[in-house]
Amino acid sequence: MKNQVLIVNCKSEEMKKTMIHLEENGIDVRRAADAESALFMISILHPPVVIVDTKLPRMNSLTFVQMLKNDEGNKNLIVIAILDFKSMEYKKQKLSKVFDGLISRTSSSANLFSNIKKFLKA
């Protein structure tokens, strides 16, 4: 589905507002509580965009993305990381090699929406 986003473990208030904004604009937003649930949902739904909080429970977010990218069925999947502003500059170089996009968790919901929308048009 072209206008579908899977959001994994993103619990900030701004992200919650962004999810509502996405839904109000015709985007089918699905949620997964953790990496394991997300892997299952991706295998069934095949969303074009996955948004992942870098602080996943039970699984490192880099491991999660590498598992996704190593699956041939996910070669066109866009994976965006949501990370803390404090760690963004520090981790940016390492994460930008794995994730397709990086967004600060402290961004406003309008900024989050705008950034996510760009990836949906790709």
The answer to whether residue 3 sits within a structural domain is no
Residue 15 CA from chain centroid, whole number = 11
> Quick check: is 2 in a domain?
no
Range of the domain at 76: 9-121
pLDDT score at 59: 87
Q: Residue 26 maps to which CATH number?
A: 3.40.50.2300
Instruction: Give the Cα separation of 18 and 40 in Å (integer).
Output: 24
Place of tokens 């109000």: 24
Q: How many Å separate Cα 88 from the centre of its chain?
A: 15
Tell me whether residue 33 is in a domain: yes
pLDDT at 5: 93
Tell me, yes or no, whether 1 lies in a domain: no
The predicted pLDDT at position 92 comes to 61
Residue 42 domain-assigned (yes or no): yes
In a domain, 108, yes or no: yes
Q: What is the pLDDT of residue 99?
A: 85
Residue 37 placed within a domain: yes
Per-residue pLDDT of the chain (122 residues; tens, 9 = 90+): 568 999 998 777 767 888 888 888 888 999 998 999 999 999 999 999 999 988 888 888 888 998 998 999 898 899 988 877 665 555 666 676 788 887 777 777 777 778 788 887 65
> Contact at 8 Å (CB) between 30 and 4?
yes
- Domain assignment of residue 4, yes or no: no
User: Which of 118, 81, 115, 112 has its CA nearest to residue 16?
Assistant: 112
pLDDT number for residue 55? 82
- Give all strands of the β-sheet with 101-104 in edge-to-edge order: 28-32, 4-8, 49-53, 78-83, 101-104
Rounded CA-CA distance 75/69 in Å is: 6
Tally of domains in the chain: 1
